[in-house]
A and B are shown apart, each in its own frame.
Chain A
Amino acid sequence: MNLRAGLAVTAARVAGAASRTLGRGGGTALPGLLAERIDPNLLTHLAAQLPRGAIVVTGTNGKTTTSHMLARILRCAGLEPLRNGSGSNLARGVATSLAARSDPVGRLATSPGTVGLFETDEAAFAQVVPAVRPRVVAVTNLFRDQLDRYGEVDTVAAIWRAALARIAPDGRSSTPPATLVLNADDPTVAALGGAFGAHGQDATALYFGIDAPTPGLPGGVEHASDAKTCPGCGARLDYTLAFYGHLGHYSCANGHRRPTPTVAATRVEPHGFDGTDLTLRTAEGDLTLRLPLPGVYNVYNALAAAAAALAVAVPLTAVKEGLEGFTAAFGRLERIGVGDKAVFLILAKNPVGMNEALRTLFGDGAPKHVLMALNDLDADGRDVSWIWDADFEHAAGRVVSLVVSGRRAEDLALRLKYAGVVDTPPPHVPDHGRALDAALQNVPSGATLYCVLTYTAMLALRQVLTQRGHTAPYWDE
């Protein structure tokens, strides 16, 4: 029994209920903040009670989708993932999710199959990992994102290394070392497992990656790539294959190279928005499946989820069942019916994510109706200059109708002009709801409006759709 923890839990639960009743969003962060004030060790105290430990997922792009995929796989294996949901991926969100399942004396309600599944953003990782001491840490990738908030890629990598060093075995602790599930194709992420001998983590690394040549980019590493130097020695990296941003098959002149992945996609067959056919090679055998999501970035998400699941001994059948039945995390890539038209929401919050969205959207060459919205609130990143690092040129000649929206719509319109997408100023509707109406007017019956949105624009647009009865509120998911 722990009275301080119990008091913190109670405060968190009351605040969470009040926040939901008042209709202020999902009630996900404030309760955790309160609990943290009352008992700073609450997270450690509660996480230690998880019978099967916890899995922490982080990375710049794909952590929410990966967590959703993993949750589904775990459920297919008969486990009960206890998650921090609704995109609340700061340390407080994790504390809130645990407090909601605890009694007034700080006891966590669990069943034998309960496993923690916590998604954290790049910055919160440093608090969550040492507090939770997870069994598995999965890292999807590391791209530049919100430089004004997170700092440069090298800075984030250093923070991650420090956090992982704090859970490295010291010889006295009885806790088994964490398994690091790492993207072999991302040099900075692969280095976290000591792949280049530089950091000497004792943790076990389980690498995932793409071993199929098919989805390679014709021009090699894209402009928006963020890892150009070897994490082991600082020499320049050369790529034989590049799949997405700086993810690919790389090596440096001093012999450092991409580690061979244990969980690898050996066949990647894209079928547009219908999904992607995959063959995965694993230590437990090969697996063939249809992932119902487009884009190479979702192949990486599926690989990360599969590898993390295998790290906690989930059977291959559950991996297949979980991935094949997957529906996208809210707003990341979501089709919503609006009358006899469809609205497709696509989250694109940084250059590499935007490139993937544009490539998926315009890769089939068919012209599309498009709404694009760019905001510069804190959650989007206040610096919108990243749009100049994304290849909007993919859209040139393929946009039937266009409406721009958001606080920085003028910047977006200008970028589209220099990309050759528009010649004259496109309709600019700052309000997201009105922008949706204006854009839908251009769309004929039976056709789809594709909305490419930054984070807060996606939330706002989804709220408009919810208020109009087209979707359920996200915290009910």
Chain B
Amino acid sequence: MSKRGLGGEGSLKVVLTHLYGDLLNLYADRGNIITWQQRCAWRGIELDVRQVGVGDDLDLDAADLLFMGGGQDGDQRLMADDLFDKVDALRAALDDGLPMLVVCGGYQLFGHYYQPAEGPRLPGLGLFDLHTVHPGAQVPRCIGNVVVEWDAAPVSSARKTLVGFENHGGRTFLGNGARPLGRVLSGHGNNSQDRSEGAVVNNAYGTYLHGSLLPKNPHLADHLLQLALSRRHPGATLQPLDDTLEWRAHEAVLSRYGGKAA
């Protein structure tokens, strides 16, 4: 691969904290990390990925970006207790504007609670003003390709759509303290009722989209990367990359699934 975008940016660095990367890797969440890694490498930016697992201290003072994915129920149980030990650090970082991306199971855990079809509510971290309800095994899961109109897409962005794949049983409902990431054009999104998808609180993004999310949505990948870069290097801007293949893959989903109802 050629070294595009070198020069002018000197020794720029971004520190990415990856929460429970060894446990929460069910739906190709690694694709998001690979995307950030390569998009940094092609610009000569060093991306320092720090894995934080069960029992590890979570020190977000040095972090510029945080990522957490989704996992199997068993694996999520293994880390849920541990996550509550880290909630203070997460809340402080959220208030401080740390860019975060949390997907699927991670997204649900950031809310107030998860109400299973049977049994008591499982408390969440309460970082996002939202809750999730599982309607019962007789109600089909939300599975399929999704196209979303990104509400706050950067003005400079070439596209206003986000594409991905969803696979979740729980339905998520936002409170007033969270705004949706976007409006569902095709697929289910948060709850297949109000056409909302995902949530944004400060610089933290929660979403059901995997597939993976960032490879086919380079505008979102770069938006979060720019937020991260600006924390450590105020005034530094990302150089544009050749995103021909990224947009081709994005367009392919739009043309096949973009016009259809859920």
Instruction: Evaluate contact between A410 and B22: CB separation under 8 angstroms.
Output: no
Instruction: Evaluate contact between A223 and B215: CB separation under 8 angstroms.
Output: no
**Which of A41-49, A59-67, A267-275, A379-387 interfaces with chain B?**
A379-387
Instruction: State A410–B243 Cα separation when bound (angstroms).
Output: 12
Q: Say which residue of B31, B34, B74, B248 sits within 8 Å of A410 (CB atoms).
A: B248
Task: List, in ascending order, chain B residues with CB within 8 A of A153's CB.
Answer: 72
Instruction: State A154–B212 Cα separation when bound (angstroms).
Output: 22
Q: Say which residue of B28, B77, B252 sits within 8 Å of A388 (CB atoms).
A: B28
B123 at the interface (CB under 8 A from A): no
A417 at the interface (CB under 8 A from B): yes
Instruction: State A407–B167 Cα separation when bound (angstroms).
Output: 20
Q: Say which residue of B27, B38, B244, B252 sits within 8 Å of A385 (CB atoms).
A: B27
A349 at the interface (CB under 8 A from B): no
A148 at the interface (CB under 8 A from B): yes
Instruction: State A423–B210 Cα separation when bound (angstroms).
Output: 24
Q: Say which residue of B26, B54, B77, B256 sits within 8 Å of A147 (CB atoms).
A: B26
Query: For residues 378 through 400 of chain A, which have their beta carbon under 8 Å from a beta carbon of chain B?
Result: 382-389
Instruction: State A387–B212 Cα separation when bound (angstroms).
Output: 9
Q: Say which residue of A382, A385, A418, A425 sits within 8 Å of B34 (CB atoms).
A: A418
- Given A147-B167, A388-B28, the answer on whether A413 and B248 have CB atoms closer than 8 Å is yes
A420 at the interface (CB under 8 A from B): yes
Interface 0/1 of B18-39, CB less than 8 Å to A: 0000110111101100110010
A152 at the interface (CB under 8 A from B): yes
Instruction: Evaluate contact between A408 and B252: CB separation under 8 angstroms.
Output: yes
Query: For residues 335 through 389 of chain A, which have their beta carbon under 8 Å from a beta carbon of chain B?
Result: 382-389
- A154 CB to closest chain B CB (Å) equals 5
Name the residue among B73, B216, B245 with the largest chain A CB count within 10 angstroms: B245
Task: List, in ascending order, chain A residues with CB within 8 A of B216's CB.
Answer: 411, 414
Task: List, in ascending order, chain B residues with CB within 8 A of A410's CB.
Answer: 245, 248-249, 251-252
Instruction: State A401–B225 Cα separation when bound (angstroms).
Output: 33
Instruction: State A423–B2 Cα separation when bound (angstroms).
Output: 7
B75 at the interface (CB under 8 A from A): yes
- B103 CB to closest chain A CB (Å) equals 11
A234 at the interface (CB under 8 A from B): yes
Instruction: State A425–B210 Cα separation when bound (angstroms).
Output: 23
Task: List, in ascending order, chain B residues with CB within 8 A of A414's CB.
Answer: 215-216, 245-246, 248-249
Name the residue among A223, A411, A413 with the largest chain B CB count within 10 angstroms: A411
Instruction: State A414–B28 Cα separation when bound (angstroms).
Output: 14
A266 at the interface (CB under 8 A from B): no
- B156 CB to closest chain A CB (Å) equals 22
Instruction: Evaluate contact between A228 and B22: CB separation under 8 angstroms.
Output: yes
Which residue of chain B is the closest to A235 with respect to CB atoms? B78
Instruction: Evaluate contact between A423 and B245: CB separation under 8 angstroms.
Output: no
Instruction: Evaluate contact between B73 and A152: CB separation under 8 angstroms.
Output: yes
- Given A387-B28, A415-B215, the answer on whether A148 and B72 have CB atoms closer than 8 Å is no
Instruction: State A147–B141 Cα separation when bound (angstroms).
Output: 11
Which residue of chain B is the closest to A409 with respect to CB atoms? B252
B67 at the interface (CB under 8 A from A): no
A236 at the interface (CB under 8 A from B): yes
Task: List, in ascending order, chain A residues with CB within 8 A of B74's CB.
Answer: 154, 229, 234
A72 at the interface (CB under 8 A from B): no
A432 at the interface (CB under 8 A from B): no
Instruction: Evaluate contact between B167 and A383: CB separation under 8 angstroms.
Output: yes
A144 at the interface (CB under 8 A from B): yes
Q: Say which residue of B25, B75, B211, B246 sits within 8 Å of A384 (CB atoms).
A: B211
Instruction: Evaluate contact between B144 and A382: CB separation under 8 angstroms.
Output: yes
Instruction: State A297–B251 Cα separation when bound (angstroms).
Output: 36
Instruction: Evaluate contact between B25 and A154: CB separation under 8 angstroms.
Output: no
B92 at the interface (CB under 8 A from A): no
Which residue of chain A is the closest to B212 with respect to CB atoms? A388
Which residue of chain A is the closest to B73 with respect to CB atoms? A154
Task: List, in ascending order, chain B residues with CB within 8 A of A415's CB.
Answer: 31, 215
Task: List, in ascending order, chain B residues with CB within 8 A of A144's CB.
Answer: 26
B110 at the interface (CB under 8 A from A): no
Instruction: Evaluate contact between B252 and A228: CB separation under 8 angstroms.
Output: no
Instruction: State A385–B22 Cα separation when bound (angstroms).
Output: 18
B17 at the interface (CB under 8 A from A): no
- Given A147-B27, A382-B145, A389-B30, the answer on whether A229 and B75 have CB atoms closer than 8 Å is yes
B1 at the interface (CB under 8 A from A): yes
- A471 CB to closest chain B CB (Å) equals 31
B165 at the interface (CB under 8 A from A): yes
Instruction: State A382–B74 Cα separation when bound (angstroms).
Output: 24
B117 at the interface (CB under 8 A from A): no
Instruction: Evaluate contact between A228 and B23: CB separation under 8 angstroms.
Output: yes
Task: List, in ascending order, chain B residues with CB within 8 A of A388's CB.
Answer: 28, 30-31, 34, 212, 215
Name the residue among A152, A408, A414 with the largest chain B CB count within 10 angstroms: A414
Q: Say which residue of B28, B38, B143, B251 sits within 8 Å of A386 (CB atoms).
A: B28
Instruction: State A73–B23 Cα separation when bound (angstroms).
Output: 40
Which residue of chain A is the closest to B250 with respect to CB atoms? A410
Instruction: Evaluate contact between A152 and B28: CB separation under 8 angstroms.
Output: no
19 more CB-based (< 8 A) A-B contacts, given A234-B74, A413-B249: A148-B143, A228-B23, A228-B78, A229-B75, A236-B54, A383-B211, A385-B212, A388-B30, A407-B256, A408-B252, A410-B245, A411-B249, A411-B252, A413-B248, A414-B216, A414-B245, A415-B215, A418-B38, A423-B1
Closest 3 CB pairs of A and B: A388-B31, A385-B28, A388-B28
Measuring CB to CB, which residues of chain A are less than 8 angstroms from any residue of chain B?
A: 144, 147-148, 152-154, 223, 226, 228-229, 234, 236, 382-389, 407-408, 410-411, 413-415, 417-418, 420, 423, 425
A-B residue pairs in contact (CB < 8 Å), sample of 11? A152-B73, A228-B23, A229-B75, A234-B77, A236-B78, A385-B27, A385-B31, A385-B210, A385-B211, A386-B28, A425-B244
